[in-house]
Structure 1
Amino acid sequence: MSLLVAQGTATVLILIALVHLYWALGGRLGSEAVVPQVAGAAPGQWQPAFRPTAWITALVALGLLLIALLVCLRVGLFLPLLGQPWLQWLISAIALLMFARAIGDSSLVGFFKEPSRSRFARLDSLVYSPLCVALGAGLLVVAWN
């Protein structure tokens, strides 16, 4: 069971990392819907809350790949099994970060963000935050089984 969860979790993390790498290399498709948005000058107009640089986006991709690597090491998926206690706790800490992202900062991201009709806010409520919960749960399963 935990091997299947690990495979699914690692696959999703790698796919998300590849999308971030695409954006870091200059790809634009879908990039306007993944950055939190704030109200613009005119009513109903939205603008990005920040503009991530290619460097930061590449760093996010690298971080996601490293998390996928940790998952693979924990269960021996394509890599030698590494059953060290520090790995279990590190993956658990990352799971907590995923849950924290899902809960949010009460203004821009997460389930408890301020209500907004922006495209990002809708996708965050329907896709991004639930995905963080699922990834967090998958990481906990991998860490403790």
Structure 2
Amino acid sequence: METIAILLVVSFAGLAALHLYWALGGKFGMSAALPEIDGAPAFMPGAAATIAVAFVLTGFALIALVLGFGASNAATLTPYSVFLGFAVGGVLVLRAIGEFKYVGFFKRVKGSKFATYDSWLFSPFCLLAGGAFLTLAAGSL
């Protein structure tokens, strides 16, 4: 269980750092990170929204940390972390499935840089990470 937690913590901390980089004006990887409509980004998140996503991703890393290592040290947090672990796992699996148009395994709009990355990297990562969160939460019951 510790190995799963470490992989989740490192992954989500890295994603949070990437979002902070973007919020501060970085451009690397940005062209593949947003869904496109007719070759243009479907939306352009501002710095505040990108920082908010970074905080959420940091929260995911902390939940994985508590589920993987904190059960004996933080008994009062365990019931909440198990619930949050199941919730995060469910949200990530739903993200992998997608909304059936632009995002997820069952998207209809294909052919963009985002769609390619989503099919081969983003959605598989969400499915695996969601399963890992569900595994950690179930193992903490």
Query: What runs of 5+ residues in structure 1 fail to find an aligned partner?
Result: 40-45
Of residues 111, 118, 124 in structure 2, which corresponds to 1:124?
118
Q: Deviations over 1:62-86 (max 9, x none)?
A: 1010111111112226x94446223
Note if contact 1:75-1:81 (Cα within 8 Å) is conserved in structure 2.
no
2:21 and 2:126 map into 1 onto residues whose CA distance is: 21
Please name the residue that 2:50 is paired with.
Answer: 57
- 1:102 pairs with 2:96: yes
**Percent same amino acid at aligned positions?**
34
> If the length of structure 1 is used for normalisation, what is the TM-score?
0.89
1:8 and 1:142 map into 2 onto residues whose CA distance is: 12
1:120 is paired with a residue of what secondary structure? helix
Query: What runs of 5+ residues in structure 2 fail to find an aligned partner?
Result: none
2:65 and 2:96 map into 1 onto residues whose CA distance is: 23
Tell me the matched-pair count. 137
2:66 and 2:41 map into 1 onto residues whose CA distance is: 37
CA RMSD of aligned residues (A): 1.5
Q: Deviations over 1:65-110 (max 9, x none)?
A: 0111111112226x94446223211110111000111111111100
Q: Stretches of 4+ moved more than 4 A in 1?
A: none
1:27 and 1:113 map into 2 onto residues whose CA distance is: 28
